[in-house]
Each structure stands twice: as C-alpha cells, then as structure tokens.
Amino acid sequence: MDFSADTSGLYRFLAERESAVIAAAISGVHDATDHLLATSRNEAPLKTGTLRITAGKKVTKENGQIYGEVFYSATEEGSSGVRFNYALRVHEMGEYKSPTTPGTRPKFLSRPLRTNERLYQRFINDAIRRALR
C-alpha cells in the first residue's frame, strides 16, 4: 500500500512568506537582545558607570543564520600599564564583598541570559507565528 500527499501548496505558502518569516525572526532576536541588554545593564556594577555606558547589542544575518549579541566593551589600564578587559574581569569575579550599588552582581550578562532563555525563545517564536498568519 502506498501513501502520498500533495505538499506543493505548503511549499508555495512557505515560499511566499519566507522573507516575512526571516524579517520576523530578526525582529524577535532584536526584542530578545533588547531585553537582555536592559536586564544585564541593571545588574552590571555601577561604581563609575563604565560598564553600563559601553554596553551594546548587534543583530546580524549571515549565511542563513540570525545572530544576536549583547556586549560590554569596557577596558582599563592596570597598574602595570597594560590594558585589560574590565568587563570580562568584573563579569567573572566571585561574589562582590560590598557592591557599590545594591542588586548588582557578577555574571551580570550570563545569569539573565540563562534565566530568560525561554522568554527569548518565545519572543522569536511569537514573531514568526505572527508572520505566518
């Protein structure tokens, strides 16, 4: 016994909406990175404000993939005169013994990313669903 199904209508439907779906996915990634940027900024130390000022985000589409990036680019000069990545150092510290601002903490970027991972997936999925309607 053979079974067959005509899927040409489905393929036409998907082809017609491909650009809308890609645009929606990009929009969803923007929403997710905006949220992560805001959340992580609130947790980043505020002693001088350097970390929060240098934070940013970027969304790109390359080779059929959509990438969202949140970054902190603070660098400082150490006592030896060598510049180092201050953002990375503060992110990877152990618990702050006396944070200058209550509610700030190390892992200010990775912690909110892990905590909100499902929310960010939902941002992207919901945007794509809307594009398919």
Cα–Cα distance for residue pair 7/12, rounded to 1 Å: 9
Residue 104: pLDDT over 80: no
Q: Other CB atoms closer than 10 Å to residue 52's CB: what's the count?
A: 18
pTM, rounded to two decimals:
0.80
Q: C-alpha distances in angstroms, 82 versus 73, 93, 97?
A: 16, 19, 26
- 28: pLDDT strictly greater than 90: yes
- Which tokens in the block code for residue 86? 């201050």
Q: Of the ranges 37-51, 94-108, 116-130, which is most confident?
A: 116-130
Average pLDDT over residues 22-26: 97
pLDDT at 16 (0 to 100): 86
* Helix, coil or strand: residue 77: strand
